[in-house]
Structure 1
Amino acid sequence: MDTASHLDRFFKDISVDARVTVTHISIYAAILQSLRKCGTKYLSMFGFELMQVVKISSGKTYYKAVRELNEFGYICYEPSFKKNRPSRISLPESSD
């Protein structure tokens, strides 16, 4: 995965997207970093694990921002809805 190109595209896209907040940016950066460390195309993590990385203590804030990033098309989020199974997060394929 080319982390730099994903980051460049993300910042280019959000420069004209007023919906994106600092919380969204922090979560996206943590997802990108975690994907880079794992070396896989998708991230299988529990929300509380990513919340620790992003330094968000409110589950409501975290899940709202993740759902919005998914709705806005910046990530692909597949919630598990099970306490013993992590959710799956990936980045959409590049349209360039």
Structure 2
Amino acid sequence: MNTYIVTFEVNDLTRLNKIKKYIREKSNGICPIHSNATAIRSEKKASEIRDEIIQMTTAEDRIFVIRSGTEAAWKNSYGKENNEWLKKHL
């Protein structure tokens, strides 16, 4: 199981909500980082996650998926529970 950071720039609210729903339903654990980024747990490869999300996007949308695991630092996570999730999985 790997942890990935998924970032996205999607200008259409309908597409954005569809992507966020996919991330919630298809991941083995998630932690929102900020409004355009989420940490997820998955057994899939980064390219597989990207390819599935791409199906919900248009040419102007941007998606970035990277496997974490080397080092991480942050400020002001969304509460103690998210902070603990990030410490454990990043």
User: TM-score, normalised on structure 2?
Assistant: 0.32
More helix by share: 1
Structure having the larger proportion of residues in strand: 2
Higher RCO structure (Cα 8 Å, ≥6 apart): 2
TM-score relative to the length of structure 1: 0.30
